[in-house]
Structure 1
Amino acid sequence: MWHDLVVALCLVLVIEGALPFLSPGSWRKMVLNVVQLNDRSMRIMGLVSMLIGVGVLCLVNG
């Protein structure tokens, strides 16, 4: 179980690092826009992101 968790976290790091590596200017603009969001919008974005992740995980694991 721990092995799978570490592999998943490593994949998150690879995916998260792709945009700043490939397009640092676009990534910087995106981060500046996110910093200006209020807490409610950030929470909604986080919730939607988690729900999409859980949904895709359920589809993949069938």
Structure 2
Amino acid sequence: MIEHPIIAAIALVMIFEGLLPFIAPKVWKNMLLQLAQMEDIHLRIFGATMMVAGAITFKYIQS
């Protein structure tokens, strides 16, 4: 059983975040270049959307 679920969640995020640079580094670099050229408001909207989706998912798996 997992003693510290928050640490497990952070570890899973690290695994998922590392997949693309490991599998396709050129694609990852191009994506970062595109992100750097985006307007701040679009990045904020994306970030807010991801946080809401994560919160809904977290709430769903807790019930």
User: 1:56 Cα deviation (Å)?
Assistant: 1.6
Q: C-alpha root-mean-square deviation of aligned residues, in Å?
A: 1.4
Q: Could you give the per-residue CA deviations for residues 35-58 of structure 1, whole angstroms, max 9, x where no partner exists?
A: 111111111010001111111222
Q: Percent identity?
A: 33
Q: Following the alignment from structure 1 to structure 2, what is the Cα–Cα distance between the partners of residues 20 and 51?
A: 25
- Cross-structure match for 2:6: 5
User: 1:60 Cα deviation (Å)?
Assistant: 2.1
- Cross-structure match for 1:39: 40
Q: How many residues align?
A: 61
Q: What stretches of structure 1 of length at least 5 have no aligned partner?
A: none
Q: Which amino acid aligns with 1:10?
A: A
